[in-house]
Amino acid sequence: MKCRPTVKDIFDFLQSIAPFDAQSEWDNSGLLVGEPSKEVKKIGVVLDITADAVDYAAKNGIDLIVSHHPVIFRPAKNFLDGNPAYMLAKNGISAICAHTSLDIAKGGVNDALAAALGFDNVSDFSECGETAMIRIAEICETDAENLAKLVAEKLSTCAAVADGGKKIKTVALCGGAGGDFCFEVAAKCDAFITGEVKHHEFLAAKDMGLTLISAGHFETENPVVSVLADKIKAEFDCEVEIIPQNSPVNYYR
């Protein structure tokens, strides 16, 4: 049954679908700005709470932002005008951020990525630890070049690929900065699609026979925004809007 929610109601709902206590120990998910008892009339959903996102929220009557990346991540020595957390408080806008809790969750970041790529035969990589956020998809046999082209097309991005040199049937998925998982993934999968990859990880992947594709941090995680907005809409009697946002990265060739 739908109801007019408070900030705590939204927090409790997110806790039910992406438990905050499942977040990585280094993470800072949860209610980061605001008053739990405040009634919510309009929610904005976005990947990153930037100054532009808060400005949009203030101008469009949004009183709660739900994001993936934490608006407060590392300890800060000041909160000055122009800082997104300061801007939220100044405008009376609350913020709930579901980061690694949403990476791991069923129907979260990595299931949304699999759906965006058109993969439907998907399973978990592991049951516990940070590798629990990785998904494995069984796909029709392909090669590195065609898989990279598919990723680039489906996510409207540029895909960098290190060709592992073999046909691909089993693909691991991890949105965001998942490159350091390539060593675990190589033991189970033919290919790995993630957002960010370091040079030595590309080298190691080739040595292990793993095709490794880097498709952009924003691009591999942003599909969850519309999924999350739909889940909140279905549960509560308030307006829910996706805050317009593009990747901060431009690609030139």
DSSP β-bridge partners for residue 162:
212
Residue 198 has pLDDT above 80, yes or no: yes
Q: How confident is the model at residue 76 (pLDDT cuts 50, 70, 90)?
A: confident
62 and 42 Cβ atoms separated by less than 8 Å: yes
Say what the pTM is. 0.95
Tell me the pLDDT band of 2, cut-offs 50, 70 and 90.
low
- 1 has a pLDDT exceeding 60: no
Structural domains in the chain plus CATH codes: 7-101+221-242 (3.40.1390.30), 104-220 (3.40.1390.30)
d(C-alpha 85, C-alpha 78), whole Å: 10
**pLDDT tens for residues 14-69?**
999 999 999 999 999 999 999 999 999 999 999 999 999 999 999 999 999 999 99
pLDDT for residue 74 is more than 70: yes
Q: Is the pLDDT of residue 165 over 50?
A: yes
pLDDT value at residue 3:
60
- Per-chain mean pLDDT for the chain: 96
Evaluate the CA torsion angle 130, 173, 178, 191 in order and state its sign: positive
Sequence-distant (6+) residues with CB within 8 A of 236 are: 2, 3, 4, 5, 9, 10, 13, 40, 43
pLDDT of residue 223: 98
Q: Pull the structure tokens for residue 54.
A: 């808060």
Kindly state the helix (H) or strand (E) to which residue 109 belongs, with its residue range: helix 109-116
Band of pLDDT at residue 234, cut at 50, 70 and 90:
very high
d(CA 97, CA 114): 22
Mean of pLDDT values over 155-163: 97
Query: What's the rounded mean pLDDT across residues 83-93?
Result: 97
Which residue reads 């800072």 in tokens? 28
Query: Cβ of 236: how many Cβ atoms within 10 Å?
Result: 18
Q: Say if CB 46 and CB 225 are below 8 A apart.
A: yes
Single-letter residue type at 103: D
Taking residue 16's Cβ as centre, other Cβ atoms within 10 Å add up to 9
